[in-house]
């Protein structure tokens, strides 16, 4: 199967490079980031909502249980740098869940809320109020594990907590024992968080690749590697609607291998499969534009979608297909018409409007194909939704036998 790169595993070094140094310019990386964001936004929203409720509850406890010299500045700090930031990020995630800036908003939110937690600890130390240092460690794990950040983003959001803790401890001359234990626990909390975040993204990337491969297999013809009938139906319907919106022309080209049953009878089905693969390769190499498509329509028949062509382009393209397939020079002793494998081509072009249906263009191409076959095969016919535009076909070389027109 020459067109699909079937694989089940990727080298560990490749995954590490993709996670640590992703190629932001590649379409695959952008597609993964969109997939990852769709997958993690609900988790991040729930996490931010829980964080908001938790900080609100802590503020209530501070007001009820802590002395005023501690609770008043701390509640103000939490209301602005925690509750305010969480509310803004949560609202943004609801309004723009697919915005590519959202993960960075969440990243900044985690860093700000985490650093504010450390500052609260410093205020508690200065006022002589007991402070639960585990809250900072809890916030560190919160940033790495439940905000739905990729590894690099989680690392950027997580380490400011550690750096803020060290800076604040040194600035306020914290006790050496408290600094030593706190630094040790926060250091390993970040390392463990980084490891967990790395595995989280690794799992997401592997799942993304598997889903992408399964989707490709579901849309690809197993013998030839080009798109299958299902893929054509979806693509053509979307292209038709787009052409109607943009007032662009669209063409359908049908190519059918001449006397293929006789070829199978003469050379066997294995050789017949090789012919289908060779013709598919020739057709696949004939398209270069992003909205054009080659698909196996069924058996020995193929379909091509051309978006935005002129009539002259379709004529030239159909002729070129006929010429290129004959130029493969695949021997065909079972044909009374030629000594090599040839194909008949029918094409139809339209500029879609409201009263037309996409099926009409396919039927017109099928009628054109029938006309090519009835006129002697190894030729092309182009229609414009009901009227023949041109009937043509290349002259075969003298050694091939038969007439090309």
CB 368 within 8 A of CB 383: yes
Q: Assess if residue 104 is contained within a domain.
A: yes
Q: Assess if residue 102 is contained within a domain.
A: yes
Give yes or no: residues 269 and 235 share one domain.
Answer: yes
What DSSP assignment string belongs to 44-70? HHHHHHHHHHHHHHHHHHHHHHS-HHH
Give yes or no: residues 97 and 235 share one domain.
Answer: no
Looking at residue 62, what is its pLDDT? 86
Give yes or no: residues 180 and 277 share one domain.
Answer: no
Q: What are 380's strand-pairing partners? A: 345, 392
- Among 185, 217, 249, residue at a domain's last position: 217
Average pLDDT over residues 260-279: 94
Give yes or no: residues 204 and 260 share one domain.
Answer: no
Give yes or no: residues 182 and 283 share one domain.
Answer: no
pLDDT band at 11 (very low <50, low <70, confident <90, very high): low
Q: Assess if residue 28 is contained within a domain.
A: yes
The answer to whether residue 16 scores a pLDDT higher than 90 is no
Give yes or no: residues 255 and 388 share one domain.
Answer: yes
Measuring CA to CA, which residue among 328, 330, 342 is closest to residue 394?
A: 342
Higher pLDDT, 354 or 331: 331
Q: Which long-range contacts (CB under 8 A, 24 or more apart) does 218-221 make?
A: 220/3, 220/4, 221/280, 221/295, 221/296
Give the domain extent around 67: 12-217
In the chain, pLDDT over 90 holds for what percent of residues?
65
Measuring CA to CA, which residue among 212, 225, 216, 219 is closest to residue 2?
A: 225
Q: Assess if residue 4 is contained within a domain.
A: no
Looking at residue 151, what is its pLDDT? 95
Q: How many domains does the chain fold into?
A: 2
Mean pLDDT, the chain, whole residue set = 87
pLDDT band at 18 (very low <50, low <70, confident <90, very high): confident
Give yes or no: residues 201 and 251 share one domain.
Answer: no
- Cα 149 from Cα 41, distance rounded (Å): 9
The answer to whether residue 130 scores a pLDDT higher than 70 is no
Q: Assess if residue 401 is contained within a domain.
A: no
CB-based contacts of 258: which residues, under 8 Å, 6+ apart? 335, 337, 338, 341, 342, 343, 344, 373, 377, 378
Average pLDDT over residues 188-205: 94
Q: Assess if residue 222 is contained within a domain.
A: no
Give yes or no: residues 254 and 294 share one domain.
Answer: yes
Looking at residue 221, what is its pLDDT? 92
Give yes or no: residues 209 and 246 share one domain.
Answer: no
* CATH number for position 385: 3.30.70.270
- Cα 29 from Cα 31, distance rounded (Å): 5
Average pLDDT over residues 364-382: 93
- Cα 123 from Cα 75, distance rounded (Å): 11
- Among 169, 197, 217, residue at a domain's last position: 217
Higher pLDDT, 342 or 385: 342
Measuring CA to CA, which residue among 340, 335, 325 is closest to residue 379?
A: 325
CB-based contacts of 240: which residues, under 8 Å, 6+ apart? 250, 352, 358, 361
Give yes or no: residues 254 and 368 share one domain.
Answer: yes
Q: Assess if residue 169 is contained within a domain.
A: yes
Q: Assess if residue 224 is contained within a domain.
A: no
Tokens standing for 28? 């695959």
Give yes or no: residues 271 and 379 share one domain.
Answer: yes
Give yes or no: residues 102 and 142 share one domain.
Answer: yes
Q: What are 295's strand-pairing partners? A: 227, 303
Q: Which long-range contacts (CB under 8 A, 24 or more apart) does 4-13 make?
A: 4/216, 4/217, 4/220, 4/225, 6/213, 7/213, 10/206, 10/209
Which uninterrupted H or E stretch holds 99? none
Buried b (16+ CB within 10 A) or exposed e, 367-394: bbbebbbeeebbbbbbbbeeeebbebbb
- Among 217, 246, 267, residue at a domain's last position: 217
């Amino acid at each position: 199967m020459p067109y699909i790169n079937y694989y089940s595993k990727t080298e560990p070094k490749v995954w590490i490079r993709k996670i640590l140094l992703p190629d932001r310019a590649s379409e695959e990386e952008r597609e993964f980031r969109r997939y990852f964001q769709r997958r993690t936004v609900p988790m991040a929203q729930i996490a931010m909502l829980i964080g908001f409720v938790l900080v609100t509850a802590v503020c209530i406890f501070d007001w009820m249980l802590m002395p005023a010299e501690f609770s008043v500045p701390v509640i103000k700090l939490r209301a602005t740098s925690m509750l305010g930031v969480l509310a803004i990020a949560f609202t943004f995630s609801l309004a723009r869940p697919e915005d590519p800036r959202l993960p960075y908003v969440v990243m900044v939110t985690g860093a700000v809320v985490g650093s504010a937690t450390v500052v609260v600890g410093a205020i508690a130390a200065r006022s002589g109020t007991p402070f639960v240092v585990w809250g900072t460690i809890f916030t560190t794990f919160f940033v790495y594990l439940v905000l739905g950040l990729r590894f690099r983003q989680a690392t950027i959001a997580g380490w400011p907590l550690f750096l803020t803790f060290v800076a604040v401890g040194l600035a306020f001359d914290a006790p050496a024992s408290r600094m030593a234990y706190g630094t040790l626990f926060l250091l390993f909390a970040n390392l463990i968080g980084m490891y967990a975040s790395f595995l989280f993204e690794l799992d997401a990337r592997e799942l993304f690749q598997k889903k992408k491969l399964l989707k490709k297999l579901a849309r690809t013809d197993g013998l030839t590697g080009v798109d299958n009938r299902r893929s054509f139906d979806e693509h053509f319907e979307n292209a038709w609607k787009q052409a109607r919106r943009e007032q662009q022309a669209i063409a359908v080209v049908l190519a059918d291998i001449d006397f293929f049953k006789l070829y199978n009878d003469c050379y066997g089905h294995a050789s017949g499969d090789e012919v289908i693969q060779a013709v598919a390769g020739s057709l696949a190499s004939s398209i270069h534009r992003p909205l054009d498509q080659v698909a196996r329509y069924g058996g020995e028949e193929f379909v091509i979608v051309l978006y935005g062509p002129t009539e002259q382009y379709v004529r030239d393209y159909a002729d070129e297909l006929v010429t290129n397939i004959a130029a493969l020079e695949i021997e065909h002793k079972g044909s009374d018409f030629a000594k090599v494998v040839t194909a008949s081509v029918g094409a139809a072009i339209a500029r879609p409007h409201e009263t037309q249906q996409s099926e009409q263009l396919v039927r017109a191409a099928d009628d054109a194909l029938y006309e090519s076959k009835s006129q002697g095969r190894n030729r092309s016919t182009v229609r414009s939704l009901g009227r023949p535009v041109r009937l043509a076909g290349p002259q075969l070389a003298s050694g091939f036998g038969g007439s090309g027109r």
